[in-house]
Amino acid sequence: MKIHYLIIIALFFVACKADEIEICTDEVALHSLADFPIGVAVSPSELQYNAAYQEIVTTQFNSITPGNAFKPDALQPSEGVFDFEVADSLVAFAMRNNQRIHGHTLLWHNQLPNWMNRFSGDRTAWIKMMKTHIQTVVRHFEGRVKSWDVVNEAFEDNGDFRENIWLEHIGKDYLELAFEFAQKADSTVLLFYNDYNIALKNRKCRAILEHFEGLKSKGIQVDGIGLQLHIFNRIPTNNEIENAVNAIVEAEYLIHFSEIDISMNWTGGSMNLTTNRLERQGRKMKVLTNIFQTIPKKQQFGMTVWGVSDLDSWIPSFFEREDYPLLYDTNYEPKLMYCGFLEGLID
């Protein structure tokens, strides 16, 4: 009897060991291990003033998403006045480093300039204003930006359209118009719809796929879906992520894991950054990478993390909680989450 227990305990440890994420260094670039683009959301000022940050961005990644620099408040601060200075220097930086640029985002409900929020006019005027923004921006970056999140977060978790200025003043077809305007501005650019909780909320996932299926059947170009993946270790489950990915694969879109971060602080109180927690985060990152690799090659657009280090994440300030959701720690050293990514890539 005792021997049986010992064997079971020994097997348990072997199983745990096999599941362990090994401590690693970041000497080998993540992108050099992958046969799909490995991206990161960046801040132009960090790139300019933070040497450690810049070193990681240039060595580890071959795709760049501007975290904020391409949003409407940054690019069209006053009506008709476009400011491309910061965005252009970011594009130049990425091009010098042979990095792909994914544009984020043409339309959203957040980070709109005040004048846009307060715009007054009838439906025709709103459509014209939206068109001007989309087409001026897309044309400006033509040939330099590979792809765009045309619309970001247009659906609620229950599958309803999210209330926003575009829905209010233009109506449901603002999505269709936005994709059409972007396509007309640059017929070579890839067009994405990007949202969060797609894997967690089945109704949201179905609503999005149904809506865009409708648009595609009318001949509107929609190339890809961005699954943001602001997630926790257990939420969504691996199975839920797989199901969402499979549904999107079946609907024949490119898939972008577009805004990856893995929160460690579910309850929101103070937390200990234990090795156990860091390991679990590393394992989740490995699983995400493994799931991404089940996608047929021609539909793999890339995996993008939403920031470089735990210092740069939007989560602690937004949710007012301690958290450590990214690949690098606050000293810009790789965490087990980085090692999980690396292990997933060489699996």
Query: Residues with catalytic annotation?
Result: 153, 259
Characterise 131 by phi-psi region: left (phi > 0), alpha (psi -120 to 50), beta (else): alpha
Q: 95 — phi, psi (to 5°)?
A: -65, -40
Say what angle helices 202-217 and 238-250 make with each other, to 10 degrees.
10
For ligand 9MR, the closer CB: 13 or 319: 319
Binding status of residue 136 toward ligand 9MR by CB under 6 A: no
In the stretch 143-162, what mask flags binding to ligand 9MR with x, by CB under 6 A?
Answer: ---------x----------
For ligand 9MR, the closer CB: 21 or 315: 315
| Tokens describing residue 270 | 């103070």
**First-last CA distance in the chain:** 38
Binding status of residue 111 toward ligand 9MR by CB under 6 A: yes
Burial (CB < 10 A; 0-12, 13-18, 19+), residue 76, is buried
Distance separating alpha carbons of residues 302 and 292, to the nearest angstrom: 8
For ligand 9MR, the closer CB: 258 or 281: 258
Binding status of residue 263 toward ligand 9MR by CB under 6 A: no
Element (H or E) spanning 224, and its range?
strand 224-227
Q: Least distance from C-beta 92 to ligand 9MR, angstroms?
A: 22
Binding status of residue 65 toward ligand 9MR by CB under 6 A: no
Distance separating alpha carbons of residues 167 and 161, to the nearest angstrom: 8
Which of residues 314, 316, 321, 322 is near ligand 9MR by CB under 6 A? Answer: 314
> Could you tell me how many residues of this chain bind ligand 9MR (CB under 6 A)?
8
Which of residues 68, 233, 243, 299 is near ligand 9MR by CB under 6 A? Answer: 68
Distance separating alpha carbons of residues 61 and 46, to the nearest angstrom: 16
Q: Least distance from C-beta 52 to ligand 9MR, angstroms?
A: 19
Binding status of residue 82 toward ligand 9MR by CB under 6 A: no
Q: Least distance from C-beta 65 to ligand 9MR, angstroms?
A: 9
Which of residues 63, 76, 99, 228 is near ligand 9MR by CB under 6 A? Answer: 228
- How many Å separate Cα 94 from the centre of its chain? 18
Distance separating alpha carbons of residues 36 and 29, to the nearest angstrom: 13
For ligand 9MR, the closer CB: 152 or 265: 152
Binding status of residue 259 toward ligand 9MR by CB under 6 A: yes
Q: Which residues bind ligand 9MR (CB under 6 A)?
A: 67-68, 110-111, 152, 228, 259, 314
